[in-house]
Amino acid sequence: PVFNPDDLVLIRRLGEGTGGSVDMVQDRRTGKIMAKKVIARTANPSMHKQLLRELQFLDSCDSPYIVEHYGSFLAEHESIVGIVMEYCEAGSLDSLLQNMKRKGMRCSEHVLGRIASSVLKGLDYLHERRIIHRDIKPSNIVVTRQGAVKLCDFGVSGELIESLAGTFTGTSFYMAPERIQNKPYSIKADVWSLGMTLHEIAHLRFPFPPEGENQSVAPIELLSYIVTAPVPVMMDDPTVGRVWSEQIKGFMAACLIRSGTERPYPWQLLRHPFIITTETKKINMAKWVAALCDWPPP
């Protein structure tokens, strides 16, 4: 469906990335609260039919692990693309991570497991449809009030990927080594990015530069760490009684295999003992988000 942007009333700004911004909006016809992402593009009228067709792929997505897409629109003489999607009340893992740091709340292995299995199921869904996400990072993993974990902002549109490629949006510190090195890549690149994301949530700290080393490094240096430094490993912290299980250590090591060819596919990781264990556990994700967002206990 194509939205009329005039029907969407701004409630508040949710955030801004390099490629655009996201607002919480309300549909004045139905009252429904939604998230609206606006991306600037190089206006190329000959491309816009194709772009809308690509965005239609979003309509066909139907998975509990992918943010629901309500519609899109072109505005300002086709120079901006609007994507209207499900609003996820708890925001992204990025903002939840800030709350964890502020509150000194560490994340249990069970919660990490639930995040991991949800992202892997989302990636597996995309993989079956021949889509690579390309931008897995904490801000592109969003969480609902009920604690469901979902992917957004995946690389469905070739045109948008092109127009963002020139900007720094094309580069991210969660990017797999093979992508930083401009080598061919697959959905396995997304698995690396998941590994980096989980590592950051587990330790409340981005893994590079390694602890103890000079913490102020230029972005380009940080990228060279990702390509050359030893891969991050799960660190126990006995002073606070934190000891990771062998299962999660093995799982993380598999996500963070440096070689893009040897790294497993999402479907393979869904069979990893850590994920199998996670699936047998009842994990109250709603309680976890409520604590982090200062909501009354569900």
Residues in the site for ligand ADP, rule: CB under 6 A?
A: 14-17, 20-22, 35, 67, 85-88, 91-92, 94-95, 139-140, 142, 152-153
- Of residues 139 and 278, the one with the C-beta less far from ligand ADP: 139
Residue 285: which of Mg ion, ligand ADP, none does it interact with, CB under 5 to 8 A by kind?
none
Residue 185: which of ligand ADP, Mg ion, none does it interact with, CB under 5 to 8 A by kind?
none
CB of 200 to ligand ADP, least distance (A): 14
CB of 193 to ligand ADP, least distance (A): 13
Q: Give every CB contact of residue 227 below 8 A, 6+ residues apart in sequence.
A: 177, 180, 181
- Of residues 14 and 285, the one with the C-beta less far from Mg ion: 14
Structural contact between residues 67 and 142, judged by C-beta atoms closer than 8 angstroms: yes
- Of residues 5 and 250, the one with the C-beta less far from ligand ADP: 5
Q: Which residues of 25-46 are buried (b: 16+ CB within 10 A; e: fewer)?
A: bbbeeeeeebbbbbbebeeeee
Mask for 102-141, x = binds Mg ion (CB under 5 A): -------------------------------------xx-
CB of 196 to ligand ADP, least distance (A): 15
Structural contact between residues 256 and 199, judged by C-beta atoms closer than 8 angstroms: yes
Residue nearest to ligand ADP (CB): 17
- Of residues 93 and 234, the one with the C-beta less far from ligand ADP: 93
Residue 21: which of Mg ion, ligand ADP, none does it interact with, CB under 5 to 8 A by kind?
ligand ADP
135 is catalytic: yes
Dump the DSSP string for the chain: -B--GGGEEEEEEEEE-SSEEEEEEEETTT--EEEEEEEE----HHHHHHHHHHHHHHHH---TTBPPEEEEEEETTTTEEEEEEE--TTEEHHHHHHHHHHHT-PPPHHHHHHHHHHHHHHHHHHHHTT------SGGGEEE-TT--EEE------HHHHHHHHTSGGG--TTS-HHHHTT----THHHHHHHHHHHHHHHHTS-S-SPTTS-S---HHHHHHHHHHSPPP----BGGGTB---HHHHHHHHHHT-SSTTTSPPHHHHTTSHHHHHHHHS---HHHHHHHHHTPPP-
State the catalytic residue, choosing from 135, 153, 190, 237. 135
CB of 37 to ligand ADP, least distance (A): 6
Mask for 41-80, x = binds Mg ion (CB under 5 A): ----------------------------------------
Cβ atoms within 10 Å, residue 48: 16
CB of 38 to ligand ADP, least distance (A): 9
Q: Which position among 68, 153, 178, 200 is part of the footprint of Mg ion (CB under 5 A)?
A: 153
Residue 91: which of Mg ion, ligand ADP, none does it interact with, CB under 5 to 8 A by kind?
ligand ADP
Structural contact between residues 51 and 156, judged by C-beta atoms closer than 8 angstroms: no
Does residue 172 touch Mg ion according to CB under 5 A? Answer: no
- Of residues 125 and 244, the one with the C-beta less far from ligand ADP: 125
CB of 172 to ligand ADP, least distance (A): 8
- Of residues 67 and 275, the one with the C-beta less far from ligand ADP: 67
Catalytic residue list: 135
Instruction: Give the residues lining the site for Mg ion (CB under 5 A).
Output: 139-140, 153
